[in-house]
Amino acid sequence: MNYKQLSGYLISGAQIFSAVLLTMSCCLPGLFAQAGGYLLRPARVFDGHELHQDWEVWVAGSHIQAAGPGLKVPAGTAVVELPGLTLMPGMIEGHSHILLHPYNETPWNDQVLVESEAERVVRATLHLQRSLQAGITTLRDLGSEGAGYADVGIKQALEKGLITGPRLLVAGRAIVATGSYGPKGFAPHFQPPLGAQPADGHDGLIRVVREQIGHGVDFIKVYADYRWGPQGEARPTFSLEELQLIVQTAASSGRRVVAHAATAEGMRRATLAGVATIEHGDGGTPEVFALMAEKGVAYCPTLAASDAILQYRGWQKGRQPEPPRIQQKRASFRAALAAGVPIVFGGDVGVFPHGDNVRELELMVAYGMSPLAALRCATSGNAALLGLPDRGRIAPGLLADLIALEGDPTQQPSALRQVKWVMIGGEVVSE
């Protein structure tokens, strides 16, 4: 090979490399064009605790580098003007089912028994996109409802960058007592696939908890009660000793337990067993909420799920009196507030449309919480209660999971429906 041939190869190689860089810079502008990061200039900044005027936020890489007035940033930093908008941490959804869609579209039984897992995963991918566009940057998913460990696989796909959506925390199959979960109503000789994993007793519970941990769940979900009473009413399922065993087994791997509980007794047992959060709590009493406050157990009321289900059943909200279930839900939420129980923002999304997460915050305010307190629940509060110290606030060193919206959400939660700009991990994903 002579010099001219070698030069030709070198030039061709350089041209190809340049073309590759150009293509990558077009597809991944944040990787090349924003080497100095972003200086964000909104009208207001809610930092997860308080609202600030005339603040700027500097993001470089995947994290927040600085926040405050008049920041000094390196040359090459891209300035992003967000005029008239409020910048705040991305919201953390505390109770969702990405593999479900509203029951007025398809009944729960049919979603579990008729829809293929492939269809449900495709739906979940769309649900994640809608949630992210609505300002949800972290999402706790509380059970795959018959889809096995598809939620674990979806989380892995997100982490690999194959799909776009919020950061996920997943529970896998969830645990129920034998005989206490659906689908039901079939002939005894036919055993349909269940929406959760049954387990009982010492050896059975230890095996199932460990099995779910081995499949990659982030926490264990258990149904501390269910609708299996003589008249179809909710009654406790697991004994206190069984719940304690679940908590102890999960804790040995560094995981916490979440309990579905709608009855006062189910809530009491779950609280004494040491669960981290109780979901629903429709029948909570002042005594139970006082115990939860004493033990530091948080409460995720899922107000929006009850509101949606009753409307599916014919309640004309705003034109008819509130059904007893709504009255009970309102009373239990107020009792939890009065007792000082930590509140998790989480609406049981999937029962109602994904992307409509703010519905829960609006009801929290309607039922007695201040807009500022509700906003804290959705950001710094959920970060603390769900064990996520790297997000939920705007402060140096935390993840740059940020959203910008019209209006002032510290005064009116409906402003959270006006999300105009979303960043996750320092990359702008919606504007």
pLDDT band at 430 (very low <50, low <70, confident <90, very high): confident
Tokens 């979901």 identify what position? 279
Rounded (to 5) percent helix, strand, coil in the chain = 40, 25, 40
Q: Are 11 and 100 found together in one domain?
A: no
**In CATH, what number is assigned to the domain containing residue 48?**
2.30.40.10
CA dihedral 134, 138, 143, 145 (to 10 degrees): 30
Contact between 399 and 389 (Cβ < 8 Å): no
Q: Are 213 and 276 found together in one domain?
A: yes
Q: Are 217 and 360 found together in one domain?
A: yes
Q: Are 51 and 160 found together in one domain?
A: no
CA dihedral 307, 308, 312, 314 (to 10 degrees): 20
Higher pLDDT, 317 or 1: 317
In a domain, residue 374? The reply is yes
- Sequence-separated contacts (24+) of 371-376 with Cβ below 8 Å: 371/409, 371/410, 371/411, 371/412, 371/413, 372/410, 374/345, 374/413, 375/46, 375/88, 375/409, 375/410, 375/413, 375/416, 376/48, 376/49
For residue 402, is pLDDT > 70? yes
First to last CA, the chain: 53
- Average pLDDT (141-146) is 98
Higher pLDDT, 32 or 217: 217
Contact between 416 and 135 (Cβ < 8 Å): yes
Q: What angle do CA 402, 51, 425 make, to 5 degrees?
A: 10
Predicted TM-score (pTM) of this structure: 0.91
Q: What is the pLDDT of residues 120-129, one digit of tens each?
A: 999 999 999 9
Contact between 24 and 47 (Cβ < 8 Å): no
- Average pLDDT (380-397) is 98
> In total, how many domains does the chain have?
3
**What is the model's pLDDT at position 310?**
97
In a domain, residue 143? The reply is yes
Contact between 273 and 233 (Cβ < 8 Å): no
- Cα–Cα distance between 369 and 377 in angstroms, integer? 10
Contact between 165 and 137 (Cβ < 8 Å): no
pLDDT band at 428 (very low <50, low <70, confident <90, very high): very high
- Average pLDDT (296-308) is 98
Q: Are 85 and 97 found together in one domain?
A: no
User: Going along 228-377, which residue ranges are E strands?
Assistant: 234-236, 257-261, 277-280, 298-300
**What is the model's pLDDT at position 9?**
41
Q: What is the pLDDT of residues 8-34, one digit of tens each?
A: 443 344 443 333 333 333 333 333 335
Q: What is the pLDDT of residues 255-290, one digit of tens each?
A: 999 999 999 999 999 999 999 999 999 999 999 999
**What is the model's pLDDT at position 265?**
98
Q: Are 51 and 112 found together in one domain?
A: no
Which residues form the domain of 98?
Answer: 91-385
Q: Are 17 and 115 found together in one domain?
A: no
Chain mean pLDDT for the chain: 93
According to DSSP, residue 415 is labeled G
- Average pLDDT (157-163) is 97
User: Going along 309-414, which residue ranges are E strands?
Assistant: 402-406
Comparing 4-18, 62-76, 154-168, 267-281, which segment has the lowest mean pLDDT?
4-18
In a domain, residue 390? The reply is no
In a domain, residue 391? The reply is no
Residues whose CB falls within 8 Å of the CB of residue 378, separated by 6 or more in sequence, listed in order? 91, 92, 345, 361, 416
Instruction: At 244, list the tokens.
Output: 């304690």
In a domain, residue 332? The reply is yes
In a domain, residue 222? The reply is yes
Phi, psi at 211, each rounded to 5°: -60, -45
Q: Are 43 and 76 found together in one domain?
A: yes
For 95-191, where are the alpha helices, taking DSSP H only? Answer: 108-113, 117-133, 150-159
Contact between 403 and 424 (Cβ < 8 Å): no
Q: Are 96 and 166 found together in one domain?
A: yes
In a domain, residue 392? The reply is no
Q: Are 95 and 52 found together in one domain?
A: no
Comparing 5-9, 67-71, 247-251, which segment has the lowest mean pLDDT?
5-9
Q: Are 47 and 114 found together in one domain?
A: no
pLDDT band at 4 (very low <50, low <70, confident <90, very high): very low
**In CATH, what number is assigned to the domain containing residue 103?**
3.20.20.140
Comparing 187-191, 329-333, 362-366, which segment has the lowest mean pLDDT?
187-191
pLDDT band at 431 (very low <50, low <70, confident <90, very high): confident
- Average pLDDT (217-226) is 98
For residue 244, is pLDDT > 60? yes
**What is the model's pLDDT at position 19?**
39
Q: Are 69 and 101 found together in one domain?
A: no
